[in-house]
Amino acid sequence: MWSISNESQVGSGLWRSREWIQRADPSRPTTGTYHNDGSMDVAVRHNPITEGEMSQLEGRSASP
């Protein structure tokens, strides 16, 4: 897995990095801090997280 950001702002540099990584190494998923909107292969959540948010996330199934 490639982690391409750590508490970074979303911007063109992040998306360009993701695109490059996907072309260079398509065998591994990508993840980035705060990206739980489907734009990364793996969602990352930071604390604090509420019980409601945990329940919502537990109800999701992993994509193949």
Beta strands in 8-62 (DSSP E): 30-31
User: What is the model's pLDDT at position 52?
Assistant: 78
3-class SS of residue 11: coil
Q: Is residue 17 part of a domain?
A: yes
Query: Does residue 28 lie within any of the structural domains?
Result: yes
pLDDT at site 37: 64
Task: Report the alpha-carbon distance of residue 9 to residue 11 in Å, rounded.
Answer: 6
Which parts of the chain have pLDDT scores under 50? 61, 63-64
- Examine residue 21 and state whether it is found in any structural domain, yes or no: yes
Would you say residue 64 lies in a domain? Answer: no
Q: Domain residues for 8?
A: 2-58
What is the structure's pLDDT at 64?
Answer: 44
In this structure, what token pair is assigned to residue 53?
């948010």
Q: How many independent structural domains does the chain possess?
A: 1
Q: Is residue 37 part of a domain?
A: yes
pLDDT value, residue 17: 87
